[in-house]
Every structure is written in structure tokens, then in C-alpha cells.
Amino acid sequence: MKIVLSGIQPTNMITIGNYLGALRNIINFQKDNKLMIFIADLHAITKDFNPKELQQNKKSIAALYMACGLNPYDNIIFYQSDVIEHSHLSYLLLCHTYMGELNRMTQFKDKSSKMAMANGTQNIPTGLFVYPTLMAADILLYDADIVPVGKDQTQHMELTRDIAIRFNKKYKEDIFKVPNIYVAEKGAKIMDLQNPDIKMSKSNENTKGTIFLLEPIDNIRKKIMSAKTDSFDNVKYDQTNQPGVSNLIIIYSCLSNKSINDIELLYKNKKYGDFKKDLADIVCNHIKELQDKYYEIIKNVDFDKQLQKNAQICQKIAAKKIDKIHKILGLKVGN
Ligand code: AMP
Ligand code: TRP
């Protein structure tokens, strides 16, 4: 069985982009593989955060995973900070990562550029800069075979692979498994509903363009009905000339069993209004079902114990790996 590993940052503002690009694909892997899913709380503190909210959001994400269909008994779901080996390995990897590599990360450039303070100065936490090595540690610690992520994480994944290869070469041993990246064919980059030139994100200023999984269903319907399209009134997948409607077609296709082609045919002589109405029904029904499950789970399941038990299993695997690396690096004296 292959190890499929992924993490998501704890915020209760999970979007339909996170869901279609990452969450849902991860869950689909559980049929034939062993899943290791963690709530990336250490990543969440690389920018400004509120400790109380963080604590609540951790639980919320765990419940969301379960609402999406993750079986917490056959797979391992845990909180990242319960296994301190993640941050330790991150340090060891940092010593094998170049400043130039981290400087090139577009996510860092993006996120740090948004951190300008009112007085024009910038205080960028170093943790944000070194974040990709923590992500590499999360993955390499467990010899993950496959890492499903959205498109925006592929650069971090390439870096993870480079670090693993570099390490193995330098110490002439297969210390780390070089992980494969999995990016979904459809839905790996859901765009903002109001500005289809930018990625849908929790942090986009105009929240009218973002669908949050836990927001009231009526809001979601309104957001879809007022999504920006174009004046062609022709339901056609054409990223260049009709980015808005193309994005809606992708969402439709991901949540129905219809291909892009099927959808184009179905709405051939129809108006955008009809298409949007059907899409709103599909999205709202799907999310409503998720929300119902979520609220049921968050009320009834005693997560923390189960997740802590899982962390203990991970901790044993991680400690063994760290021990092996310490030996190879000459950090360990004796046996
Ligand atoms: P983040 O919100 O940055 O913590 O992302 C969590 C996961 O969702 C990552 O695998 C991202 O690549 C994925 N993701 C985030 N936004 C989108 C989006 N708009 N479309 C598809 N996938 C996304
Ligand atoms: N960096 C990812 C994000 O922002 C979350 C993440 C942290 C992750 N560690 C990971 C994803 C390891 C996959 C594997 O979305």
C-alpha cells in the first residue's frame, strides 16, 4: 500500500477551491492507499494568528475532513504540532537548503508582499520564509509516496523533491523517498468568482468571489448567481476569452458526473442565468450535505483523544527516522 500524505492549514474559512483542489482528492485516495493527513498548525503560525481561533479551527478542520468522508479509524489523521519531529527535521533540512531556493518561492513573495504595515515598514516572520522546508519535513519524515496538492503548492513540492535528492546524493544513502506530486486534472486551480484572473482564496479582499464551505447556503447561491461572466451568453469552455464561465463549468463538472463537453452540449441554446441556477443547485446541495455532516460530527465526536493516539503512532515512525538521520549526519554518538 502506498502512503498518501497531505496537510491543510487550520482555518475554518475553507473554500470550495481547497475542497475541489485538495480535500476531495485526498479522500478519494483512501480506497487503495494508506492516508496520512495532518492539520498543519505549525504552518498556520507563520503569519499573524489568534491562538484561541487557531485552537478552534484545528478541530474544525479535523471535522471537515471527516464530513468529506475521511475514515478516521482506517487512516491516520493528526495534529502536526503533536509530533515535534516535524520541526526538528525542518531544521536539519534548512541546513541543506539554499537561501536562493527559498527566495524564489512565489508563495513567499505573494504572502510577504501582503504584509506591509500601515507605516510602510514590513515585519515578515522568518517562519514564513522557511515554511517550505517545514513542508518538506512533513513529507520526508514519513517516506510519503504521493502528495496530493493544489497547483499553488507544486513549487514547494519540487523543492521537497530537490532537497530529498540532494540529501540522498550527499550522504550516498537512500535516506528519503522522493515523493510524487499529484495534482487533480480538474479543479486544481479554482478561480475567484468576481475576478477570474486570480485564484479563489480565503484571503482575497472581495469575499463575494469566494465560496466558503461553512457559510450560509443562501450566501453561496447569491455568490454563484452574481459570478462575473462575459457578454457572449454562450456556455463554452474557453479559458482565454471566457475565463469566468470556464471556471463555473469546471466547478459544475467537478461536482456532477458530467464532462466539460457534456455541459457545453446541455446548455447549448440556453442563457447564463439557466446555467448559473443549475450550478447553484448542484453546489448548494453538495455543500448543504457536507455542512449537515460537519455539524453532527463536531457535536458528537471526541476527536482530541483519537488524534492524539494517532500522533503517538506517527511519533514512533518519526523518531526512528530522525535517529537514522542523526547517525548519518554524525550527530549521534554511540549506538
Ligand atoms: P491553503 O488554503 O493555502 O492552506 O491550501 C490548502 C490546499 O488547497 C492546498 O493543496 C492548495 O493547493 C489547495 N488550494 C487552495 N486554493 C485553491 C484553489 N483556488 N483551487 C484549487 N486548489 C486550491
Ligand atoms: N503548504 C500547504 C498549504 O498551504 C499545507 C501543507 C503543509 C502541506 N505541509 C504539507 C500539504 C505537506 C501537503 C504536504 O496548503
Look at residue 120 and tell me whether its pLDDT is greater than 70: no
d(CA 38, CA 270): 44
Whether pLDDT at 308 is above 70: yes
Q: What local confidence, expressed as pLDDT, does residue 317 receive? A: 97
pTM of the model: 0.90
Angle at 133 between CA 66 and CA 308, to 5 degrees: 35
Mean pLDDT of 174-203: 94
- Cβ atoms of 94 and 159 within 8 Å: the answer is no
Q: What is the pLDDT of residue 117?
A: 65
Nearest to 178 by CA among 164, 191, 188: 164
Q: Return the ligand 2 atom nearest residue 8 CA.
A: 5
What does the pLDDT read at residue 135? 98
Q: Over range 169-197, report the average pLDDT.
A: 95
| 202 counts as catalytic | yes
174 residue type, one letter: D
The pLDDT score that the predictor gives to residue 118 is 60
C-alpha distances (whole Å) from 171 to each of 164, 179, 293 are 11, 18, 48
100-113 pLDDT, tens digit per residue, is 999 999 999 988 98
User: Lowest-confidence range among 107-111, 160-164, 216-220, 242-246?
Assistant: 107-111
Helices and strands (H and E) in the chain: how many:
14, 5
**Mean pLDDT, to the nearest integer, of 193-208?**
92
Residue with the smallest CA separation from ligand 2 atom 14 is 6
Q: Is 199 a catalytic residue?
A: yes
> What confidence score (pLDDT) does residue 71 get?
83
Q: What is the pLDDT of residues 31-62, one digit of tens each?
A: 889 899 999 999 999 988 999 999 999 999 99
Whole-number percent of the chain with pLDDT over 70: 98
- Kindly list the structural domains of the chain, giving each domain's residue range(s) and its CATH number in brackets, ordered by start: 2-188+301-329 (3.40.50.620), 207-294 (1.10.240.10)
pLDDT digits (tens, 9 = 90+) for 243-274: 999 999 999 999 998 999 999 999 999 999 99
Catalytic residue among 59, 199, 223, 321: 199
Helix crossing, 303-329 with 85-94: angle to 10°?
30
How far, in Å, is the centroid of ligand 2 from the Cα of 334?
36
Residue-wise pLDDT for 280-290, tens only, equals: 999 999 999 99
- For residue 39, which ligand has an atom nearest its CA? 2
Cα separations (Å) of 306 from 74, 85, 315? 12, 20, 14
pLDDT confidence of 185, banded at 50, 70, 90?
confident
Pocket perturbation via mutation, ligand 2, pick of 57, 153, 181, 201 by most ligand atoms within 8 A of CB: 153
**185 against 145, higher pLDDT:** 145
pLDDT of residue 31: 86
The residue with greater pLDDT, 262 or 27, is 262
Q: How far is the CA of 157 from the centre of ligand 2 (A)?
A: 9
Average pLDDT over residues 187-205: 92
Ligand 1 shell residues, CB under 6 Å: 8-9, 17-18, 20-22, 149-150, 152-153, 188-190, 199-202
Express each pLDDT in 67-85 by its tens digit. Answer: 999 888 888 999 999 999 9
